[in-house]
Amino acid sequence: MKSIKNVTLKTLAVLAGVIVFYACGSSEQKKEETTDSKTLVKEAEEVKAEDNSKGVGKFTHVDVSPTLDKQMADAGKKIYDVKCSACHRLTDEKLVGPGWKNVTKTRTAEWIMNFATNPDEMLDTDAIAQGLLEECLVRMPNQGLSDDDARHVYEFMRENDGVK
Amino acid sequence: MRQSELKTLALLAIAFATTVFSCKPKNVSTTTSGDAAQKVYVAPGKYDEFYNFVSGGFSGQMAVYGIPSGRLFKVIPVFSVDPEKGYGYSEETKPMLNTSHGFVPWDDLHHIALSETDGVHDGRWAFGNGNNTPRIARIDMKTFKTAEILEIPNSAGNHSSPFITENSEYVIAGTRFAVPMPDSDMDVPINTYKDNFKATVSLISVDKESGKMNIAFQILLPGVDFDLARAGKGKSHGWFFVSCYNTERANTLLEVNSTKNDKDFIMAVNWKKAEEYAKAGKGVKKSVNYAHNTYNDNTHSATSVMEKEVLMLDPKDCPDMIYFMPCPKNPHGCDTDPTGEYIVGSGKLAAVIPVFSFTKMLDAIDKKTFEGSYAGIPVLKYDAVLHGEVKKPGLGPLHTEFDANGNAYTSMFVSSEVVKWRISDLQVLDRVPTYYSVGHLSVPGGPTKKPWGKYLIAYNKITKDRYLPTGPELCQSAQLYDISGDKMKLLLDFPTIGEPHYAEAIPADMVSKNSVKFFKIEENKNPYVTMGEKEAKVERKGNEVHVYLTAIRSHLTPDNIEGVKLGDVVYFHVTNLEQDWDVPHGFAVKGANNAELLVMPGETQTLMWKPEKVGVYPIYCTDFCSALHQEMQGYIRISAPGKNVPLTFSTGTNQPKLEEDKF
């Protein structure tokens, strides 16, 4: 038992109930299910959209230019290929975790970078992160991103969301 | 049979009888104190005070326990294959077990030496010996993996090793079995032992930064059996001491024939002088063949190189390098105290424990107080080098450890007890029973200049009636004693793997703070690494099929592979993409004739598989990794050679159509 150890009993109970039916999986899953999970994401987003949460972690303020830093985005893509792409698509399709399309429009830079570098604490305390866990049922692993790595990946997400 | 032989046999018989009759405890409740449970209780989630690195004996491995709880943390595979970890089965680790005899999947690991700086533990490496096919292994205490294995040429029964000098300059490795040397005729009658058989001691240098070992030189010695050894420290730094038995140089029925002399030897070697002789060209280069295997944490792979030469020093060309000190009788342990002044010999068949003085030894050498010579090597006079004898210590003294307060602790095999005595006046202070037939002892820091003390652990040879029985083979066991007070107190029995021989214990924070949590994927230089799922692929090279496969919670990529033919050799190169602590992924394929892989985060390991039958074979992750671990699975299809199935691979596509989807 590895990543399960931090999951609360309550989550385990939920998990036991839904694990069979929830395939955090391919695009070919049934339409109904997709709708369900989308609704969940939406609910979580609504909670967060109100307070513009920065999440929990060391990032309290990130300077973001209106234009893209191409060099940072390229560095971010390299990290994405090795450490993120196994679970996150660049479209809005959910694989293991949610697709990244429009993530920079619905979450703050701080929230994203805190989640990327501090996933365990976020999953234990942050409402949005917990909502996503209930949907995906796999705790996002700590992939050992440095602060710079996280910033670069964020820039790559912006590029993916159309920032020039 | 001569009269003396009969006498010896009679004595041995009495000794054995004593073992049987003396080993029954009077009453267990009288042997543990009331607060023992509290002293060994490490509450859930709390850490132990010490790591205990324990030899695994005939398991060939090294085990790591917590002290005082006695909890087993890890078995580090060293000389024996370990299917659980894929050690010796993965393509990357197979070279670790290469020797001049080819792949040897087992050995007998007896002794541990932890690296030291200025005579104190530095928490970097643990060394262990392979007795059977002579080798020394170095374990990296950051990764708890075997980092290097060096075969020892001109050696047999590598028992008197590894023992380390106070700045880890050298690891000492001595032979138990004398053998004909490879540069002479090795095919000789066994009964020409006295003429043709030689012993050696090897000095293995340890690189200060990398820890990498090399045989600096060997010393050619008369064909006695070397048993154990210790380097000097403090004032005796620059010397090492080796117990010798079978000075009779018998080659048969040693039980009788090697117990004739009343005294054998402690051999004192001036290694600084030997170093000078080696530098001055006094050695002779010998042609040999031995394996030198190293594991690289960046390529996550071992390489094995065959070395061809070793420098041999012969004492006849190197005066004032070696002296013998007479020691009663068939000495086993040979231990130097924390000051480096006293050398304790433990004659298995002796009624006393002789304690030698380094100062007196130097003086005797200076004044040439010799009683003769043995095979051309001066033998010092017993009385001239003796500090004194511990009288009536018990029966069958074997090994001695030390605390920081001038006390020594000696194990008594035959009378099953530990005896505490004071080095200065050689008075016995206390004795406690062990259950039973104790061998080695370990006091944390006991062999160093700075014993950490507090506990003593006894490693026993016999455990009958101490645990629930498990058939003819009973569990191996250690016992923990509190030595913080005047009286030793038994606290705990705990089972061990293999047969435990020597062990060392080190304060936990010297090791835990350096522990590697995962390997950085960016630094993975394995030629078969898959840097992200995008790179995952299957390639055919003739009849070899290379699967570049990634593992991350909770899927393998690719997980559907087709186009592999019967007759192909499949290499699964599994890269664990995780970058988090405690998330290894396992990998197994049905019917593989080797083992699983256990791939640490950021590592790449390779499983070779020769499918034997046509069919579709499951592959899966073997280490429970996440809520969807049971979903972490896939298939590889093996087709008949003539069948036209193209090589394809995928993950998450190629889904079967359901009947209900068709309209």
Provide the residue ranges of all domains of chain B, joining segments of one domain with +: 49-512, 529-655
Chain A residue numbers touching B553 (CB-CB < 8 A):
3, 87, 96, 138-139, 141
Q: Would the CB atoms of B578 and A143 count as touching at under 8 Å?
A: yes
Domain coverage including residue A150: 3-160
Tens digit of each residue's pLDDT (9 = 90 or more) over B505-515 = 999 999 999 99
Nearest-neighbour CA in chain A from B71: distance (Å):
19
Sign of CA dihedral B483, B489, B495, B498: positive
* Contact call for A85 and B518, based on CB within 8 A: no
Q: How far is CA B466 from CA B412, B433, B460, B462, in A?
A: 19, 13, 11, 9
**Edge-to-edge strand ranges of the sheet holding B50-55:** B72-76, B62-67, B50-55, B503-507
A chain contacts of residue B626, beta-carbon cutoff 8 Å: 2-4, 138-139
Min distance A51 CA to chain B CA atoms (Å): 30
- Let me know: does B219 contact B313? Beta carbons within 8 Å: yes
Task: Find the closest chain A residue to B556 by CA distance.
Answer: A86
Nearest to B578 by CA among A11, A100, A2: A2
Residue A150 has pLDDT above 90, yes or no: yes
Partners of B53 in the beta sheet?
A: B64, B504
Q: H/E element holding B112?
A: strand B109-117
**A 89-128 residues inside an 8 A Cβ radius of B:** 95-96
- CA B395 – CA B414 distance, rounded (Å): 5
Q: Alpha carbon of A96 to those of A44, A99, B558, B648: distances in Å?
A: 18, 9, 15, 23
Report the candidate in A32, A155, A40, A35 with the shortest Cα–Cα distance to residue A100.
Answer: A155
Contact A82 B522 (CB under 8 A): yes
Closest-CA distance, A34 to chain B, in angstroms, reads 16
Residue A4 predicted with pLDDT over 60: no
CA atoms within 13 A on the CB side of B10: 7
Interface of A with B in 45-64 (CB under 8 A): none
**Which tokens in the block code for residue B406?**
């001038």
Model confidence at A6: pLDDT above 60: no
Q: Does A85 touch chain B (CB under 8 A)?
A: yes
How far is residue B131's CA from residue B110's CA, in Å, rounded to a whole number?
Answer: 7
Instruction: Judge whether B530 is closer than 8 Å to chain A, CB to CB.
Output: no
Q: Please say whether the dihedral angle defined by the alpha carbons of residues B28, B32, B33 and B36, taken in this order, is positive or negative.
A: negative
Phi, psi torsion values for B604, nearest 5 degrees: -125, 130
**Region for B155 from its dihedrals, namely left if φ exceeds 0, alpha if ψ lies in -120 to 50, beta otherwise:** beta
Q: Identify from A22, A24, A82 which residue to disrupt to test chain B contact, counting B C-beta atoms within 10 A and taking the largest count.
A: A82
Could you give the C-alpha distances from A52 to A39, A61, A106, A111, A116, in angstroms and in order?
A: 19, 12, 9, 9, 17
CATH superfamily of B49-512: YVTN repeat-like/Quinoprotein amine dehydrogenase (2.130.10.10)
* pLDDT confidence of residue A44: 46
| Coil, strand or helix at B599 | strand
Q: Which of A7, A86, A145 sits opposite B552 (nearest CB)?
A: A86
Cβ of A141 within 8 Å of Cβ of B623? The answer is no
Q: Which two tokens stand for residue B313?
A: 């020093």
pLDDT band for A37, please (50, 70, 90 cuts). very low
Closest CB to B627 among A137, A144, A145: A137
The DSSP line for B320-378 is: TSEEEEEEESSEEEEEE-TTS-EEEEEETT-SEEEEEEHHHHHHHHHTT-EEEEETTEE
| A32 touching B (Cβ < 8 Å) | no
Indicate yes or no: CB of B579 within 8 angstroms of CB of A83. Answer: yes
Q: Per-residue pLDDT for A29 more than 80?
A: no
Q: What is the CATH number of the domain that holds A128?
A: 1.10.760.10
φ, ψ (nearest 5 deg) of residue B211: 85, -5
pLDDT score recorded for residue A145: 95
Residues with Cβ within 8 Å of residue A12, at least 6 apart in sequence: A4
> Within an 8 Å CB–CB cutoff, is residue B533 touching chain A?
yes
Q: Does residue B374 belong to the interface with chain A, where contact is any CB pair within 8 Å?
A: no
- pLDDT for B8 equals 53
* Burial category of B377 from C-beta neighbours within 10 Å (exposed 0-12, middle 13-18, buried 19 and up): middle
CA distances B556 to B130, B260, B590, Å, are 38, 66, 16
Do residues B580 and B601 touch, judged by C-beta distance below 8 A? yes
Which residues of chain B have a pLDDT value below 70?
1-31, 658-663
Reading the block at residue B591, the tokens are 């019917």
pLDDT at A25 (0 to 100): 38
Comparing CB atoms, the residue among B577, B582, B626 nearest residue A86 is B577
Q: How far apart are CA B329 and CA B323, in angstroms?
A: 18
The pLDDT of residue B31 is 65
DSSP E strand stretches across B553-625: 555-557, 560-565, 569-576, 585-589, 597-599, 604-609, 615-620
- Residue B625 contacts A, CB cutoff 8 Å: yes
Q: Residue A120: which pLDDT band, with cuts at 50, 70 and 90?
A: very high
Helix pair A147-160, A109-117: axis angle to 10 deg: 130
- Tell the residue number behind the tokens 């304060």, with chain if given: B507
pLDDT at residue number B610: 97
Show the tokens assigned to B457: 């652990």
Question: Chain A contacts of B532, Cβ < 8 Å?
Answer: 81-83, 85-86
pLDDT at position B659, please?
Answer: 66
CA-nearest of B376, B413, B380 to B397 is: B413
Nearest to B579 among A19, A95, A144 (CB): A144
B523 touches chain A (CB under 8 A): no
| B210 Cβ neighbours under 8 A, 6+ residues apart | none
| Cβ pair B409, B443 in contact under 8 A | yes
- Quote the tokens at residue B483: 């030595």
> Is the CB of residue A19 less than 8 Å away from at least one CB of chain B?
yes
- Average pLDDT in chain A: 78
Residue B637: CA atoms inside 13 Å, Cβ hemisphere, count? Answer: 14
Q: Do A141 and B627 count as a contact with CB atoms less than 8 A apart?
A: no
Cα torsion B491, B497, B119, B507: sign = negative
When divided into structural domains, chain A yields a total of 1
What torsion do the CA atoms of B220, B224, B228, B232 make, to the nearest 10 degrees?
A: -50
**Architecture per CATH, B529-655:** Sandwich (2.60)
Q: Is the CB of residue B209 less than 8 Å from the CB of residue B228?
A: no
Q: So what's the pLDDT on residue A138?
A: 85
Task: Report residue B50 CA to chain centroid gap.
Answer: 18
User: Which chain A residues are Cβ-neighbours of B534 within 8 angstroms?
Assistant: 81, 85
